[in-house]
Homo-oligomer: A and B are copies of this chain.
Amino acid sequence: MAIVPLSEAVRELVRDGDVVALEGFTHLIPHAAGHEIVRQRKRDLTLVRMTPDVVYDQLIGMGCARKLVFSWGGNPGVGSLHRLRDAVEHGWPAPLELEEHSHAGMAAAYAAGAAHLPFGVLRGYRGGDLPARTRVARIACPFTGEELAAVPAHRPDVGIVHAQQADRRGNVQLWGIVGVQKEAVLASARSIVTVEEIVDELEPRPGGVVLPAWVVDAVCLAPGGAHPSYAHGFYERDNDFYLAWDAISRDRDRFRAWMQRHVLDTADVAEYHASLAAEAAAV
């Protein structure tokens, strides 16, 4: 593990064509890392994520993705992801292959990946049209004969998550809603963790999940790096942004202009926040 700038981590650990999982279930979504992937114009990524919300809408709209592996692709509490829809419905800016799962299937696939098993087992994918459209197999219990579903394990090339803290040795702690982040990191061949702050010593927290330094490849300081998602104990969810995103993302030109101004024309998460603040002040 090394504590490095985010730009360096993305440059060295994310390669064109990689299978990349940015995780964070509503909470601690690694937006700063997503922006850096956009800035470095990574291409042909297979993006894995249970809930590809705004972070993947941006990556898809900017043409970074070839395929999406997901279970729920909406703007939470708001509605559609217009860039995701445009890619699927109209192939803009590029066609997007879909591999669609249920939440339970995605969670089992990550857990299997973390456990270094080739598949996860669940009582799911029974009936309906989803099983025919995704990667799932039936498997019989060798003791009872019951038929269950098997999903292939997620083993991303790179897992990326955001956390509240790391210590100087690179041990990471996150708390609050911890989602599937531990599994995403442990299932991945390489991993990047962006953090709100680097402290001398981690203080154990109720509900804290600790990732030891030796399972993480790069720790990057990125305060505010979850915005518009939130970091429990640091800042709240920017609900207004999610609502505003609906209008920004609805129009291709407006989306591109927004990404140019706030992501491509900024160097890092600090400039991104300054850019948003400047825009807000100008209104």
Contacts and interface: CB of A to CB of B under 8 A. Distances in A.
A144 B123 contact: no
Contacts of A204: 206-207
A184 interface: no
A138 B143 CA distance: 11
Interface of A: 116-119, 121-123, 135, 137-139, 141-144, 146, 148, 150, 152, 204-208
11 contacts: A117-B123, A118-B141, A118-B143, A118-B144, A118-B148, A119-B141, A119-B143, A121-B121, A139-B139, A143-B152, A204-B206
B146 A118 contact: yes
A123 B138 CA distance: 20
- If over half of A's interface residues share one DSSP class (helix, strand or loop), that class is named, otherwise mixed; here it is loop
Contacts of A142: 119, 137-139, 150
Given A119-B121, A119-B143, A138-B142, 20 more contacts: A117-B123, A117-B148, A118-B141, A118-B143, A118-B146, A119-B141, A119-B142, A119-B144, A121-B121, A135-B143, A137-B142, A137-B143, A139-B142, A141-B150, A142-B150, A143-B150, A143-B152, A204-B206, A204-B207, A207-B208
A278 to B, nearest CB: 40
A123 to B, nearest CB: 7
Contacts of A119: 121, 141-144
A113 to B, nearest CB: 12
A207 to B, nearest CB: 7
A257 B121 CA distance: 50
Contacts of A118: 141, 143-144, 146, 148
A252 B204 CA distance: 47
A119 B121 CA distance: 9
A121 B207 CA distance: 27
Contact of A116 (B123, B144, B208): B123
Nearest to A143: B152
Complex A-B, nearest 6 residue pairs according to Cβ-Cβ distance, in ascending order: A204-B206, A137-B142, A118-B141, A118-B144, A143-B152, A119-B141
